[in-house]
Structure 1
Amino acid sequence: MPRDLATLPKAHLHLHFTGSMRHRTMVELAYKAGVRLPESLRTDAPPQLTDVDSRGWFRFQRLYDVARSVLTTEDDVRRLLREAAEDEHAEGSRWLEVQVDPSGYAARFDGATSFLELFLAAAREAEERTGVGIGVVVAANRTRHPLDARTGARLAARYAGDGVVGFGLSNDERRGDTAEFAGAFAIARRAGLPTVPHGGELRGPDHVREVLVAAEPARLGHGVRAAEDPRLLEELARRGVACEVCPASNVALGVYGGPREVPLRTLVEAGVPVALGADDPLLFGSRLVAQYAVARTEHGLDDTALAGLAASSVRASFAPDHVKRTLLAQVDAWLAADEPAGGLDS
């Protein structure tokens, strides 16, 4: 019988703050805040996102903005981070890197700096309560002016070493000129923050190359479209740039027709470090263990390979070295242990 994937120690490196929300929590907070949810968000089933023209992105963004609007108080922020950490703990995650754009919450929380300070304090509280280590990735929005991204990078740099572990660039990668964000990435790197921009999901290999030049990233948010170019895969493997692969979101947004089409094996076999992620479980309908289950059932990875993915997620994380050593030893122990009677996948 295969080992229980929920007990496999792992790191979760691609989770957005609002998108981590439990559906029940969103409904409760919407009622409290007087936010009217569209029908597609009222039910516990993930919304249908894909359409021919937008490949699902524009509808996804509209629904994400509605979900973000239910967060109106400091207690709401604390609750979401606590629940996210509880969910991660239940799924075997022992290190979480949660991504957030403080400017998206600034208007309701006395500015981006105040919000980030609240967020970092809430992350520490959640970490202490659950035992899940939490690092914060401050993200800029590529649909806004690149000067806004520089402001975000300076804010991230100010809290480097105080909970902020990286700097990202998110939202629709078809928007904006990636090269114009190079200045923001440089600010982050000078502060010692690795960069983790999105790229290689809605656009192909050429855009991945643009991101490599502009950001000099440690990891790519998604990066799956790099599989279309063997030479690019070789470059990613040589540089050790990890890809945060999120099968559920790739399929929901219409990038691939089904989970088997996600090029997980292609990336792994090319030597590219891979960390599975759930992206936005609220809208895509599944959390981290489900991504490992897809790797098992749709891509035929055995427990040794799955343990390898978990170890890859740990090595690609920005966790302290002692945390990495502990987690890697726990992954080895999971693989070495006999499966308890009655153990099942989640």
Structure 2
Amino acid sequence: METPTTARRLDRLPKAHLHLHFTGSMRHDTLVELAGERGVHLPQALAKEWPPKLRATDERGWFRFQRLYDIARSVLRKPEDIYRLLLEAAEDEKAAGSAWLEIQVDPSGYAALFDGLTATLELILDAARAAERDTGVHIGLMVAANRTRHPLDARALARLARQYAGKGVVSFGLNNDERRGRAREFEAAFRIAKRAGLLSTPHGGELNGPRSVRECLDELAADRIGHGVRAIEDPYLLERIATQEVTLEVCPTSNVSLGVFEELDHVPLRKLYESGAPIALGTDDPLLFGPRLVEQYRIAREVFGFSDAELADLARMSIRGAGAPDSLKKELLAGVDDWLASDPAEDWSERD
């Protein structure tokens, strides 16, 4: 338990958030409010029984998860909704001590509402800049392709992302159900993105096992892997991840909510850390899973017994794995050192 005499405040620890989906970042009360305004009926799982009870390890469970996600997306209909979502996401990051947010979005999901892919991406980028100005939290965009769609669609997104490399887009991802689209099928899209200087950040090793992670490394030259937790099943693969310094975006509450692991203490966070794999704690979709970023660090502390020195190490790894400018990384890393050098009692006495 976090107390003034035994632990430093986790919301004061500088960190980066590298695994957050666009729609999934929405606050629950914002979803309820916008649904009421737009006449969108929310099922009980998104209303009174929130957060929903989910399980995505079978086709029926994944379909339900995706259906709830699509309902949530349907409330975002106007440009002001996009600005609000990103402002509130940045406010939540600031409250968690995160100074860099790398939020992932597939512009295809909103293109019909906002005049096409390019206009949609420009709207999101402008909203991100506005949120930065208002909160001081730096935001980079990950353009993410959907692995359940044709690889040609991913190529179109990669070419779009290439146009905005250095202009707010920092990485290129691949998401959705691993069982319905292998990483190797998207090699051409990732080649386009890598040549533009974007980080390669596909999902892998969540619903599928080590082969999924291996393909991300071999075929997509991954710099980071979304989730990657099932790499724990292959010691040689895990050693490779550690040696190549490929960051795993580990999202404990998501893994349990979707049934990847039955209980929080089954998530191999401690084993991954002790193997030398770089780890960036993330939330995935707090709109559907509940806890946000600072809670993931609290889980590391209270469930897995991470000391403050180890928590600082996790924060450093999240910063090093980010697509942030080097100058910002240097500043945040210095802030982590300051946090670790601080007196816990003084840290708690300085209430905002």
Cα distance in 2 for partners of 1:341, 1:333 equals 13
Number of matched pairs: 344
From 58, 67, 92, the counterpart of 2:72:
67
Q: Does 1:184 align with 2:189?
A: yes
Cα distance in 2 for partners of 1:51, 1:96 equals 26
Larger mean CA deviation between 189-198 and 75-84 belongs to: 189-198
1:161-172 → structure 2 map (5 Å cutoff): 161-172=166-177
Aligned residue type for 2:341? A
Q: Which residue of 2 aligns with 1:14?
A: 19
Cα distance in 2 for partners of 1:134, 1:143 equals 27
From 42, 45, 65, the counterpart of 2:47:
42
Shift in Å at residue 280 of structure 1? 0.5
Shift in Å at residue 180 of structure 1? 1.3
From 320, 325, 332, the counterpart of 2:325:
320
Shift in Å at residue 86 of structure 1? 0.3
Q: Does 1:332 align with 2:337?
A: yes
From 238, 260, 263, the counterpart of 1:255:
260
Q: Which residue of 2 aligns with 1:244?
A: 249
From 278, 292, 308, the counterpart of 1:287:
292
Cα distance in 2 for partners of 1:25, 1:44 equals 16
Aligned residue type for 2:102? E
SS at match of 2:201: coil
From 119, 123, 128, the counterpart of 1:123:
128
Deviations 1:177-216 (A, max 9, x none): 3211000000101111111000000000111111212210
Q: Which residue of 2 aligns with 1:219?
A: 224
Shift in Å at residue 267 of structure 1? 1.1
Give every structure 1 segment of 4 or more consecutive aligned residues whose post-TM-superposition deviation is greater than 3 Å.
51-56, 340-344
Aligned residue type for 2:52? P
Are the structure 2 counterparts of residues 88 and 157 from structure 1 closer, same or farther at C-alpha, using a change threshold of 3 Å?
same
Cα distance in 2 for partners of 1:216, 1:191 equals 14
Larger mean CA deviation between 261-270 and 335-344 belongs to: 335-344
SS at match of 2:8: coil
The question of whether the paired residues in 1 share the 8 Å contact of 2:182 and 2:212 is answered with no
SS at match of 1:196: strand
Cα distance in 1 for partners of 2:57, 2:192 equals 38
Could you list the runs of 5+ residues in structure 1 that have no partner in the other structure?
none
Q: Which residue of 1 aligns with 2:3?
A: none
Deviations 1:51-71 (A, max 9, x none): 773484222111000000000
Q: Which residue of 2 aligns with 1:78?
A: 83
Cα distance in 2 for partners of 1:279, 1:89 equals 17
Deviations 1:262-317 (A, max 9, x none): 11111111111000001100001110011111111111101000010001100111
Aligned residue type for 1:81? L
SS at match of 2:339: helix
Larger mean CA deviation between 6-15 and 30-39 belongs to: 30-39
The question of whether the paired residues in 1 share the 8 Å contact of 2:16 and 2:319 is answered with yes
From 90, 98, 110, the counterpart of 2:103:
98
Could you list the runs of 5+ residues in structure 2 that have no partner in the other structure?
1-5
Q: Which residue of 2 aligns with 1:343?
A: 348
Aligned residue type for 2:30? T
SS at match of 2:200: coil
Aligned residue type for 1:70? V
The question of whether the paired residues in 1 share the 8 Å contact of 2:57 and 2:258 is answered with no
Are the structure 2 counterparts of residues 342 and 151 from structure 1 closer, same or farther at C-alpha, using a change threshold of 3 Å?
closer
Q: Which residue of 2 aligns with 1:32?
A: 37
Shift in Å at residue 87 of structure 1? 0.5
Shift in Å at residue 329 of structure 1? 0.4
Q: Normalised by the size of structure 1, how large is the TM-score? A: 0.97
Cα distance in 2 for partners of 1:282, 1:205 equals 28
The question of whether the paired residues in 2 share the 8 Å contact of 1:205 and 1:229 is answered with yes
SS at match of 1:137: strand
Cα distance in 2 for partners of 1:235, 1:189 equals 20
The question of whether the paired residues in 1 share the 8 Å contact of 2:8 and 2:347 is answered with no
The question of whether the paired residues in 1 share the 8 Å contact of 2:11 and 2:97 is answered with yes
Q: Normalised by the size of structure 2, how large is the TM-score? A: 0.95
Shift in Å at residue 343 of structure 1? 3.2
Q: Does 1:264 align with 2:264?
A: no
The question of whether the paired residues in 2 share the 8 Å contact of 1:22 and 1:282 is answered with yes
Aligned residue type for 2:44? E
The question of whether the paired residues in 2 share the 8 Å contact of 1:15 and 1:99 is answered with yes
Cα distance in 1 for partners of 2:193, 2:83 equals 26
Q: Which residue of 1 aligns with 2:312?
A: 307
Aligned residue type for 2:245? G
The question of whether the paired residues in 2 share the 8 Å contact of 1:222 and 1:246 is answered with yes
SS at match of 1:107: coil
Cα distance in 1 for partners of 2:103, 2:70 equals 18
SS at match of 1:13: strand
Q: Which residue of 2 aligns with 1:235?
A: 240
